[in-house]
Amino acid sequence: MKNQQSGFTLIELIMVIVILGILAAVALPKFADFSGEARAASLSGALGAVRSASAIVHSAALVAGKTAADGEIVTLEGKDITLAYGYATADSIMDAAQLSSEFKRATGTVRLGNCTFTYTAAKGAETGVTISPITTDSDPDPDPITSC
């Protein structure tokens, strides 16, 4: 009687390793950019916070009758928000939106990774503020934003 061995041959094992290598090479780039997607989601949330804060500040200014060109202040959640024409100034909108320090902030500009959006303060009582959509360094008009 002949002894029968069971198991895989060396060729079969090598083929499995090759197939796994090909799958890893194809699948790994799909999972490698989670940090860019997370930054894009965070910046989208910050954009929403700035839009909401702008509307809340303007509503509070209208209720208080503070719509002068400059020098007026409303207090929201213990923070003084400087106004221009009843809207938050570019310097104070970041405080009103309560953005964390992870966002690189300049006057009216919020940056995370290579993505940016800009808050432009009101230049008159009738004009209101302008909040740009999110742009990237390489694409000024990404629609939708997928990675930063």
Identify the pLDDT of residue 95. 87
- pLDDT tens digits, residue range 36-49? 888 889 999 999 99
Predicted model pTM = 0.74
Structure-block tokens of residue 13: 């094992």
pLDDT tens for each residue of 24-83: 888 877 777 678 888 889 999 999 999 999 999 999 999 999 988 788 999 998 899 999
What is the DSSP-derived secondary structure letter of residue 98? T
* Segment (H or E) for 12: helix 10-32
Q: In this structure, which long-range contacts are made by residues 131-138, counting pairs with CB atoms below 8 Å and at least 24 apart in sequence? A: 131/47, 131/50, 131/51, 131/54, 133/47, 134/40, 134/43, 134/44, 134/47, 138/114
Average pLDDT, the chain: 87
**What is the rounded end-to-end Cα distance, in angstroms, of the chain?**
68
Q: How far is the C-alpha of 50 from the C-alpha of 54, rounded, in Å?
A: 6
How far apart are the C-alpha atoms of 96 and 107, rounded to whole Å? Answer: 13
With bands split at pLDDT 50, 70 and 90, how would you rate the model's confidence at 2? low
Q: Tell me the C-alpha distance between 110 and 42, whole Å.
A: 11
All structural domains of the chain with their residue ranges: 37-136
Per-residue confidence (pLDDT) for residue 118, from 0 to 100? 93
Inter-residue contact 46 to 112 (CB < 8 Å):
yes
Q: List Cβ neighbours of 17 (8 Å cut-off, separation of 6 or more).
A: none
pLDDT of residue 85: 92
